[in-house]
């Protein structure tokens, strides 16, 4: 693949950055896991998974994919809504206007995702913190309402331990 020589040095830098960043986050309990295949996937891209401990969702999985010049960020918010679809999309579209760093999008099988893009050279530990914080905040804020509206027959809100 012609893009391999261009992304491999960036992949090493991103790997080092994420490993260093995750040490404190793992100890704090915000990050549950950081995983990487350490090799190109079938699309010629390197990928990392950051699993976060959520409140409304037990786990929030943030995928970082190294593309030729950017890091693509992706979090599955919820499966495709099955009920009140128009109302769910109206709610999500209204929420989308207030989001920063990540935005809502339709993904495979009409699932709802939070997505974003960061230029490779701008990825820092602080930016990873911001992306993880945004994912946690937006999932906690949007997930319960969207699930209650779009999958009400299947969704029961998590009870917080007091």
Q: What integer pLDDT is reported at residue 5 of this predicted model?
A: 47
Q: What integer pLDDT is reported at residue 92 of this predicted model?
A: 98
112-148 confidence digits (pLDDT tens): 999 999 999 999 999 999 999 999 999 999 999 999 9
As a whole number of angstroms, the distance between CA 143 and CA 149 comes to 10
As a whole number of angstroms, the distance between CA 120 and CA 141 comes to 28
Nearest to 35 by CA among 55, 54, 59, 57: 59
Residue, of 119 and 26, whose pLDDT is higher: 119
* Confidence class for position 159, pLDDT limits 50, 70, 90: low
Whether the CB-CB separation of 8 and 29 falls below 8 Å is answered with no
As a whole number of angstroms, the distance between CA 89 and CA 45 comes to 31
Which residues does residue 36 pair with via DSSP β-bridges, in sequence order? Answer: 48
Cross-sheet strand order for the sheet of 31-36 = 31-36, 46-53, 59-66, 70-78, 112-119, 103-106
Whether the CB-CB separation of 14 and 46 falls below 8 Å is answered with yes
Q: What integer pLDDT is reported at residue 162 of this predicted model?
A: 46
* Confidence class for position 8, pLDDT limits 50, 70, 90: confident
Which residues does residue 49 pair with via DSSP β-bridges, in sequence order? Answer: 35, 63
35-77 confidence digits (pLDDT tens): 997 788 888 889 999 999 998 899 999 999 999 899 999 999 9
The topology (CATH level 3) of 4-150 is: Yope Regulator; Chain: A, (3.30.1460)
Give residue limits of the domains in the chain.
4-150
Q: What integer pLDDT is reported at residue 133 of this predicted model?
A: 95
């Amino acid at each position: 693949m012609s893009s391999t020589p261009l992304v491999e040095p960036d992949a090493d830098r991103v790997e080092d950055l994420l490993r260093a960043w995750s040490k404190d986050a793992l100890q704090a309990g915000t990050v549950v896991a950081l995983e990487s295949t350490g090799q190109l996937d079938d699309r010629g891209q390197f990928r990392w998974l950051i699993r976060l401990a959520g409140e409304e969702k037990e786990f929030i999985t943030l995928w970082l994919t190294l593309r030729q010049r950017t890091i693509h960020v992706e979090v599955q918010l919820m499966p495709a809504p099955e009920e009140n679809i128009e109302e769910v999309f109206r709610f999500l579209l209204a929420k989308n206007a207030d989001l920063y760093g990540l935005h809502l999008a339709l993904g495979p099988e009409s699932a709802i995702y939070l997505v974003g893009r960061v230029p490779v050279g701008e990825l820092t530990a602080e930016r990873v913190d911001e992306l993880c914080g945004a994912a946690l905040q937006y999932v906690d804020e949007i997930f319960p309402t969207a699930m209650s509206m779009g999958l009400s027959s299947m969704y029961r809100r998590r009870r917080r331990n007091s």
